[in-house]
Chain A
């Protein structure tokens, strides 16, 4: 169809279509969760445990990988799956690191990874939540709950196409729930282990 103002007519029609498309996109982005990949270079999985009748021992896993699905509209649809390389554990003392990798504790030769897979995510506030899931150490799974805070989510100042989110999580596990129970008790360690996780994740 052509009119005197035919060109404007086509423009209006295109504009209407564009707005409709934008609305659909906006709805879609609200309805679907964002996928993140844990940034292993910016992940600190640390733990502390009582050392006998004395101090508190600190340790860290350096090699961390995993994926996070974050659904802000419906946090219950969010999920976390992460894996720690047992061989990367360190406590600032080589011999103790070897002991921890040995069969008495994390048993790296048989079970090279510790895994966590969420089963439930609950919103507490706009930036905090509780993530419950199965922590598997040396082939034994135990349900734990982590208190998680979304610290920030923003494009990187040096690269607008890179969006990162940062999380802090804390939780507690007991050595008594895992195969290391006997050895840990024998050496007066724990049984409570406090976990503090700080990590960044890259939006995919």
Chain B
């Protein structure tokens, strides 16, 4: 038991998972949406600070820029709900992710090293931008189907989980921990919401601000992994942001694949969204340069 509790994977995932559950319970019973955005922002900053250390002024390395990007995402996410509609959120996240890709990658871009990993990083970055823009452009339905509140959390969860494993196997432990923490937080949220659905209730949806700041945070860390993890699998990297776009297609193109049975709809939608992430994880594990053992050497 002590060994289990001392395992870095458990200590990375367990507290955020519990916090995600608490956040979901509070959202069900107490937290109005703007306060939920604030809580998400505070938790996000805590994870960044805990994993990457305090902000460095001025930031030099890409990893030092991540916390500043999180701040930027939080500022956008805390815009009042009446201002932050689907259209503005979609444009904001696309523009901010494009800027983040350039800022995080400028040393590599300036170096002109367009090797396979750099090409994969650019493709992954572009897919993250397009996927995030598509996802945040979704508008809340007047009478939402049961799976709708799960679409964005499931996409962020799948992206973070794939990114975390690709990162650790690709020799970037810290970003793996950060994405693992985010995945656990969102996983805790999804579990509580799904239990509510099983009990005949409805899941609480994230407001646009929370969607924006968590999607932006997950995508920027994934871009950092793609740009800098020296052994990250290029194919896995390109597959990992796809859950964002797939989630955006669930209410439209993929609607026919979601079954009629109420308790199954969030599960099947989640599975569809996670499919490309599962492929990414399998690819990363099968072609891991040092084997698929997660851990530090």
Contact = CB atoms under 8 A, between A and B. Distances in A.
Interface stretch (B191-199, B207-215, B223-231, B267-275): B223-231
Interface in B76-108: 107-108
B61 A139 contact: yes
A173 interface: no
Contacts of A95: 171, 289-290, 297
B167 to A, nearest CB: 9
Contacts of B227: 109
Main secondary structure of the interface of A (DSSP, over half): loop
Interface size class of B (residues with CB under 8 A): 20 to 34
Nearest to B51: A182
Contacts of A144: none
Interface in B128-182: 170-175
Given A99-B171, A103-B224, A110-B228, A138 B289 contact: no
Contacts of B52: 182
B116 interface: no
A102 B228 CA distance: 7
Contacts of B111: 112
A32 to B, nearest CB: 38
B290 A103 contact: no
Contacts of A107: 61, 63, 228
B61 A102 contact: no
A111 B51 CA distance: 21
Contacts of B60: 138-140, 179
| Residue among B51, B53, B172 facing the most chain A CB atoms (10 A cut-off) | B172
26 contacts: A96-B297, A98-B289, A99-B171, A99-B173, A99-B296, A101-B230, A102-B171, A102-B172, A102-B228, A103-B172, A104-B174, A107-B61, A107-B63, A108-B230, A109-B107, A110-B61, A110-B228, A111-B107, A138-B61, A179-B56, A179-B60, A179-B64, A182-B52, A182-B174, A186-B174, A187-B296
A179 B63 contact: yes
A27 interface: no
Nearest to B107: A110
Nearest to A98: B171
Given A98-B290, A109-B227, A110-B61, A181 B53 contact: yes
Interface of A: 93-96, 98-99, 101-104, 107-112, 138-140, 179, 181-183, 186-187
A103 B296 contact: no
Interface of B: 51-53, 56, 60-64, 107-108, 111, 170-175, 224, 227-231, 289-290, 296-297
Contacts of B290: 94-95, 98
| Residue among A110, A140, A182, A187 facing the most chain B CB atoms (10 A cut-off) | A110
B229 A103 contact: yes
Q: List the 4 closest A-B pairs by CB distance, nearest first.
A: A139-B60, A96-B297, A102-B171, A95-B290
Contacts of A104: 63, 171-174
Given A102-B230, A139-B60, A93 B172 contact: no
A109 B173 contact: no
A176 to B, nearest CB: 11
Contacts of B175: 103
A99 B290 CA distance: 11
B297 A182 contact: no
Given A103-B61, A104-B174, A179-B63, A109 B289 contact: no
A137 to B, nearest CB: 10
A83 B172 CA distance: 24
Contacts of A102: 170-173, 228-231
Given A102-B172, A103-B174, A104-B173, 9 more contacts: A93-B297, A101-B230, A103-B172, A103-B224, A109-B108, A109-B227, A110-B61, A139-B60, A183-B174
A111 B61 contact: yes
A181 B56 CA distance: 12
A187 to B, nearest CB: 5
Contacts of B229: 102-103
A104 B231 CA distance: 13
Nearest to B63: A103
B52 to A, nearest CB: 6
Contact of A183 (B56, B170, B173): B173
A104 B51 CA distance: 11
| Residue among A93, A103, A104, A139 facing the most chain B CB atoms (10 A cut-off) | A103
B84 to A, nearest CB: 32
B62 A103 contact: yes
Contact of A109 (B56, B174, B228, B296): B228
